[in-house]
Amino acid sequence: MPEPTRGTAFGLRIEADFDIPGLPSGEGDLPLAELLLADEAQLARAWGAAEGRATRIREERFGRDEVDRFIDADPEIGYRLFARYFGSCLISRDGARLLCVPPPVASWRWQRLLVGRCLPLAAMLRGYEVLHAGAVEIDGGVVAVVGPSGSGKSSLIVHLVLQGASFFTDDVLVLQEREEQLVAHPGFGVINVRTGEDERLAGPDRDALGPHLGQTGRSKHHYGLTPVQGERPLRALYLLSPGREGSATIARVSAPDPRRLLASAFIHDVRPPEQLARLLHVCARLAASVPIFDVALGGDEGAAALARRLREHVDDGVRA
C-alpha cells in the first residue's frame, strides 16, 4: 500500500489515499478529513439507503437537458455532489469522510471540485465558517478580498502576491472564532487566474507565481503557490462591488449591510439551523471587530494598479 498523502488546509487535517497537488504539508490539532478514491459502484453502495429519500437541494443546467451539477442531501448519510467533467463526491454528514469519484482526467483538473466545493463543505460541517474570498497575509494578519465570481478577486490576489504579500488562499476563506477574535485558516496552494489577466502578466511574473499546472478550456490558468502555514488573525475585509468609470474608490463601511455579509458566505445550500446561527454570529463578529471596506471598482484601473493601492491602504493602518 502506498503511503497516504497528508497535509492541512481549510482548518482540516487531511489524509488521502491519492495525491493532491497543492495540498500544503503540515500537521496540527485539527479536525480530520479522510479522503478515499472510489468508483461509481462504491459510491452507489455507500449512498444506497439514501436513494429515493434524499433531497435535491441544488441543481444546475447549462443550456442542455441533462443536469450539469447537483447536490443531494440525506440526514443520515450526508451529501452527494456531482459536476460534469469533474466527477462525484460523497461527504459524510459530519464532514469527516469523503469518497471521491474522478473522471479520467489529470488530478489537478478534477480536484477543482474537491478543493472548490467538497472540502469547503466538509470544513463547514466540521464547525468552521466559509467565505467566498481570496486572501493574503501582510505583517502577520490576513487581508481578505470578497466578491462574487468574476469580480476580480483572484487577479487582485495574484498582484498582491507579486508585490510582496504572502499567499493565503484563493476563492475559499475558512474562519473560526478563537478567544474573542476571528482567525483564518490557509487554503490550498493553487490559484486560478482568468485568461485575460494571465495574458497581461509578464513572463517573469508567471515564473514568480509558481509552476503552471494547466489550463481549463480558454477561461482559466492554474498555478501552484505555497500558502503560509498556520492560522492568522483576520486583519481587514475588502468587499468588491461594481463601480463606475475611472479608478476604484475605497471607503470604510461603518455599518455593514448584514445581507451583504451573509451573501459572502461560500455555501448557501447546506444550512441546517445550527449552522445558520453560526453564520449569523460570525457575520456579527465581523461587523463588530474587523475593519471592512467597500471597493467600488473602476473600469479604467487594472488589477495591478488596484493591488498597489490596496497594499498602501493596508500599510497605512487600514484607515478609511
What are the pLDDT digits (tens) for 58-68?
888 887 788 99
For the structural domain made of 131-315, what CATH number should be given?
3.40.50
- When pLDDT is cut at 50, 70 and 90, the band that residue 270 belongs to is confident
- The residues spanned by each domain of the chain are 5-127, 131-315
Q: How many CA atoms lie within 13 Å of 240's alpha carbon, on the beta-carbon side?
A: 24
- When pLDDT is cut at 50, 70 and 90, the band that residue 320 belongs to is very low
What's the confidence (pLDDT) of residue 1?
52
Residues 58 and 69 sit within 8 Å (Cβ to Cβ)? yes
Q: Which three cell numbers stand for residue 124?
A: 463547514
Work out the mean pLDDT of the chain and round it to a whole number: 89
What's the confidence (pLDDT) of residue 66?
86
What's the confidence (pLDDT) of residue 91?
97
Q: Is the pLDDT of residue 162 over 70?
A: yes
Query: What's the whole-number mean pLDDT along residues 171-177?
Result: 93
Who has greater pLDDT, 1 or 271? 271
- Per-residue pLDDT tens for 66-119? 899 999 999 999 999 999 989 999 999 999 999 999 999 888 888 889 999 999
What's the confidence (pLDDT) of residue 232?
95
222 CB neighbour count, 10 Å cutoff? 21
The alpha carbon dihedral of 81, 89, 64, 265 has a sign of: positive
pTM flag (> 0.75): yes
What's the confidence (pLDDT) of residue 167?
96
Amino acid (one-letter) located at 320:
A
d(CA 158, CA 92): 34
Q: Which residues contact 4 (CB under 8 A, 6 or more apart)?
A: 15, 16, 17
Q: Is the pLDDT of residue 135 over 70?
A: yes
Where b means 16+ CB within 10 Å and e means fewer, 119-138 reads bbbbbbbbebbbbbbbbbbb
Residues 282 and 111 sit within 8 Å (Cβ to Cβ)? no
Query: What's the whole-number mean pLDDT along residues 279-290?
Result: 88
